Structure 1
């Protein structure tokens, strides 16, 4: 936002204070150009940068936790698969033994 600046009035006041006309005009021109600097209100502050760094660190931590959870899930699935395989073979072996025993009883029974 640029402030309104009365250059004629400022130059006259400087001349009335004893400043030469060329020097007064140069000072007024300098002040006027200084009022035309862009608004820096939208630039990032140190607090904004710190907040962004915190948010980035938090996202990194979430990514690391998500990766750890995925690894744990993969490991648990592998362990469950192995246990189910062992139980399946044990059950099949038990059923084979029962069928064999039943067959033997039927053949040996009078």
Structure 2
């Protein structure tokens, strides 16, 4: 992402203020380069992340066996036992816990990457502004 910056207009304003053309162009180049930000548009947003409610709603009513479905099963071999259902419930809980852990890790990785990029942007802006102030001070001292 970059911010629109009128380099020609800025150079002209600096020259009109009494700076030499080379100094004005150098200041404008520094401002323009400090306004260049890394592209973070590819990072996942909060809206992209699945919520606990999203995960809980994944099992739809169509996927859930009803009492009538269980009653209509033809043989005893097709009927799930309480132990089978308990095992399935336990396995499902374990799967959900693993998904939550994976989501937490992914969230922390995304936040760390975003934090690093934002820190870099801040440092780039501070460095650019420091250079501009230093250059402007030098130009003023040399010109005055």
Task: Please report the TM-score for the alignment, with normalisation by the length of structure 1.
Answer: 0.53
Match of 2:128 in 1: 94
Match of 1:76 in 2: 110
Give the 4+ runs in structure 1 shifted more than 2 A: none
| Superposed CA offset, 1:65-109 (max 9, x none) | 000011111211221222122112111110111101211221222
- Alignment of structure 1 residues 1-110 onto 2, 5 Å: 47-110=81-144
- Work out which of the two has the higher radius of gyration on C-alpha atoms and give 1 or 2: 1
Q: How many residues were matched structurally?
A: 66
Q: In structure 2, what is the Cα distance between the partners aligned to 1:46 and 1:90?
A: 63
Structure of greater relative contact order (alpha carbons < 8 Å, 6+ residues apart): 2
Q: In structure 2, what is the Cα distance between the partners aligned to 1:106 and 1:71?
A: 52
Please report how far the alpha carbon of residue 62 of structure 1 lies from its aligned counterpart in structure 2 after TM superposition. Answer: 0.2
Q: In structure 1, what is the Cα distance between the partners aligned to 2:107 and 2:136?
A: 43
Q: Which runs of 5+ in 2 are unaligned?
A: 1-78
| Superposed CA offset, 1:23-63 (max 9, x none) | xxxxxxxxxxxxxxxxxxxxxx9522111111111100000
Task: Please report the TM-score for the alignment, with normalisation by the length of structure 2.
Answer: 0.41
Q: Which runs of 5+ in 1 are unaligned?
A: 1-44
Q: In structure 2, what is the Cα distance between the partners aligned to 1:81 and 1:69?
A: 18
